[in-house]
């Protein structure tokens, strides 16, 4: 037999359950803009029913638990995609910087400097006796050398900057890993009693998302609730322990670069995804590749111009002189020989020693038509360098865009599970409000019933 008191108890339970539900919905609304927040749901459950001869009668409602709405599979996909997208993002910005360094197409880029250099020789061929024309050659060659020097220096500077970014990124990886390990401890301790540590898990997931943008990680959740993180085949976080990512400074012959290592043995590793992979790829492969192509241009010009120049004669009949310093055959070291700059009459325009003969100047100007690098002329080769930069850069840009769209798509699917919808929360609130009002009404009904009974006494 159920008494009136039991009815009151049911109403009281309902009042407190819907009050609690309202605060969960309210919290959802309050956190609608909070990054990393996953919406919560109060799990309502009927209380243990009383066994009566007429059947089982429910004894009201309880909030059994409050849980996060989250899809772990989508989290995994998101993180994998995030690593890819972040890699292209860091590459795209580096590529567009390389494009700025080359500065093509324009009338001031290296292409024009090369044309000006050849044309200066033609100008000298027009007036081999003239000091002015010799000055034009010296200036043209100096401008061309300096263009190469400064391009190489800017690329080198880019590498140094990327190295700085790599160091900073490794620092971020370590600090994120440490915080995740801490949160693992909090989750494990907190969930011993059975309830889900929603806020801590949200924070941990947000840090994992962030980490996935830096390096390619895989996350496995253990039974105790802790998240194990691996990077490639290397463990990064295991329960509350972390393996730290290290840096080993070494010289690659030009500048000091930091190699990424892991663990106490300082094994060198190369992350396959994330911002760090993009930075390493740009620093160690892409930029050095463009530098070596500029080196090839420098070497081809120095060697061939010098070879032709040595056969010619200066105004005083001097022969066998090098026009470019033969020691400088790279983009960073190419320069006009000091003795030429000191005495412009040494510029050997003449084949026979006559000051009006300009066959050597014409021969040097004619080098622009010769295949000096493989089967390409200097200008063809430079065109192909700029062309391949354009192709690579636009490939990376469109890759970044499509990876970004895919990331956006996955984020949408994830958001569809975990995100807060104000409309939905409002509807829930209204439903809870009505339930609360009805339960309150029930209290007053039972109150009246009790009054009725009491007044009859």
Residue 123 has what DSSP assignment?
Answer: H
Nearest residue to 280 via CA among 271, 289, 291:
271
- Please count the residues of this chain forming the interface with another protein, following the rule CB under 8 A: 68
What is the 3 state secondary structure string of 192-245? HHCCCCHHHHHHHHHHHHHHHHHCCEEEEECCCCCEEEEECCEEEEECCEECCE
Do strands 256-262 and 267-268 pair parallel, antiparallel, or not at all (unpaired)?
Answer: antiparallel
From 420, 435, 439, 446, residue interacting with another protein (rule: CB under 8 A): 420
* Distance from C-alpha of 50 to C-alpha of 37, rounded to nearest angstrom: 39
What are residue 31's phi and psi, to 5 degrees?
-100, 20
Q: How far is CA 95 from CA 279, 386, 388, 398, in A?
A: 11, 12, 12, 12
Distance of closest approach, residue 387 Cβ to another protein, in angstroms: 3
By the rule CB under 8 A, 196 interacts with another protein: no
Residue 268 CA, distance from chain mean position: 21
Nearer of residues 17 and 385 to another protein, judged by Cβ:
385
Nearer CB in complex with another protein: 20/397: 397
Q: Where are the alpha helices (DSSP H) in 312-377?
A: 338-342, 359-366
Between 123 and 165, CB nearer to another protein:
123
> Of residues 22-41, which lie at the interface with another protein (CB under 8 A)?
32-33
Q: x/- contact string, 384-403, with another protein (CB under 8 A)?
A: x-xx-xxx-xx--x------
Binding mask 78-107 for another protein (x = CB under 8 A): -----------------xx--xx-x-xx-x
Does residue 427 touch another protein according to CB under 8 A?
Answer: yes
Q: Taking a C-beta distance cutoff of 8 angstroms, is the pair 207, 176 a contact?
A: yes
Nearest to 336 by CA among 349, 345, 347: 347
| Closest CB to another protein among residues 218, 413 | 413
Chain residues 115-154 in contact with another protein, contact rule CB under 8 A? 115-116, 118-119, 122-123, 125-130
Q: How far is the CB of 302 from another protein (least distance, A)?
A: 19
Closest separation between CB of residue 413 and another protein, Å? 8
| DSSP bridge partners of 229 | 219, 237
CB-based contact 47:59 (threshold 8 Å): yes
Q: Which of 7, 36, 190, 366 binds another protein (CB under 8 A)?
A: 366
Residue listed under structure tokens 């994998």 = 80
x/- map, 267-306, another protein, by CB under 8 A: ----------------------------------------
Nearer to another protein, 283 or 313 (CB): 313
Tokens representing residue 154 in the block: 């800017």
Residue 227 contacts residue 211 (beta carbons within 8 Å): no
Residues in the chain: 457
Point out which span in 19-27, 199-207, 267-275, 420-428 binds another protein (CB under 8 A). 420-428
- Residue 310: half-sphere exposure toward Cβ, Cα within 13 Å: 10
Of residues 99 and 182, the one with the C-beta less far from another protein: 99
Is the Cβ of residue 304 or residue 393 nearer to another protein in the bound state? 393
Which range binds another protein by CB under 8 A, 14-22, 156-164, 227-235, 423-431? 423-431
Rounded to an integer, what distance in angstroms lies between the CA atom of residue 135 and that of residue 122? 13
Cα Rg of the chain (Å, integer): 37
The structure tokens listed for 388 are 């391949």
Nearest distance from C-beta of residue 415 to another protein, angstroms = 5
Using the rule CB under 8 A, which residue among 83, 166, 207, 362 binds another protein?
Answer: 362
Beta carbon of residue 84, minimum distance to another protein (angstroms, whole number): 19
Nearer to another protein, 119 or 172 (CB): 119
Q: Which residues, numbered 301-360, are part of the site for another protein (CB under 8 A)?
A: 350, 352-359
Residue 28 Cβ vs another protein, minimum distance, rounded to whole Å: 10
Coil/strand/helix, residue 256? strand
Query: DSSP for 67-80?
Result: EE---HHHHHHHHH
Of 231-270, binders to another protein (CB under 8 A) are none
User: Which residues of the shown chain bind another protein in the complex (CB under 8 A)?
Assistant: 32-33, 95-96, 99-100, 102, 104-105, 107, 111-112, 114-116, 118-119, 122-123, 125-130, 350, 352-359, 362, 365-366, 368-369, 379-380, 382-384, 386-387, 389-391, 393-394, 397, 408, 411-413, 415-417, 419-424, 426-427, 430
């Amino acid at each position: 037999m159920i008494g009136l008191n039991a009815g009151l108890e049911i109403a009281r339970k309902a009042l407190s359950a819907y009050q609690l539900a309202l605060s969960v919905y309210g919290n959802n609304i309050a956190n609608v803009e909070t990054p990393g927040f996953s919406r919560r749901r109060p799990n309502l459950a009927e209380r243990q029913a009383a066994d009566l001869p007429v059947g089982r009668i429910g004894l009201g409602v309880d909030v059994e638990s409050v849980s996060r709405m989250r899809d772990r599979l989508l989290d995994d996909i998101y993180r994998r995609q995030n690593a890819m997208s972040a890699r292209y993002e860091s590459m795209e910005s580096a590529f567009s910087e390389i494009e700025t360094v080359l500065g093509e197409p324009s009338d001031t880029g290296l292409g024009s400097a090369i044309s000006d250099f050849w044309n200066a020789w033609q100008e000298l061929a027009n007036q081999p006796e003239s000091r002015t024309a010799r000055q034009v050659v010296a200036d043209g060659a100096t401008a061309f050398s300096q263009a190469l020097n400064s391009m190489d220096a800017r690329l080198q500077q880019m590498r140094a900057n990327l190295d700085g970014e790599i160091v900073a990124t490794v620092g971020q990886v370590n600090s994120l890993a440490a915080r995740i390990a801490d949160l693992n401890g909090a989750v494990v301790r907190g969930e011993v009693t059975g309830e889900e540590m929603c806020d801590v898990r949200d924070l941990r997931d947000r840090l994992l998302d962030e980490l996935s943008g830096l390096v390619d990680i895989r996350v496995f959740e253990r039974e105790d609730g802790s998240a194990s993180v691996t990077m490639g085949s290397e463990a990064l976080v295991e329960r509350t322990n972390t393996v730290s990512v290290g840096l080993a400074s070494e010289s690659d012959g030009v500048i000091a670069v930091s190699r990424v290592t892991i663990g106490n043995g300082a094994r060198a590793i190369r992350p396959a995804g994330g911002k760090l992979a993009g930075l390493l790829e740009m620093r160690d492969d892409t930029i050095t590749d463009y530098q070596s192509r500029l080196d090839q241009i420098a070497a081809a010009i120095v060697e061939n111009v010098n070879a032709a120049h040595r056969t010619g004669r200066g105004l005083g009949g001097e022969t066998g002189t090098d026009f470019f310093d033969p020691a400088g055959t790279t983009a960073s070291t190419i320069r006009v020989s000091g003795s030429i700059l000191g005495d412009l009459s040494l510029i050997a325009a003449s084949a026979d020693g006559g000051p009006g003969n300009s066959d050597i100047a014409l021969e040097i100007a004619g080098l622009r038509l010769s295949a000096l690098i493989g089967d390409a002329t200097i200008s063809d080769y430079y065109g192909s360098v700029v062309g391949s930069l354009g192709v690579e850069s636009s490939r990376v840009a469109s890759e970044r865009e499509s990876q970004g769209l895919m990331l956006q798509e996955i984020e949408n699917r994830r958001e569809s599970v975990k995100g807060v919808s104000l409309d939905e929360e409002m509807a829930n609130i209204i439903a809870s409000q009505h339930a609360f009002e009805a339960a309150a009404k029930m209290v007053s009904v039972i109150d009246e019933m009790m009054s009725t009974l009491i007044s009859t006494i």
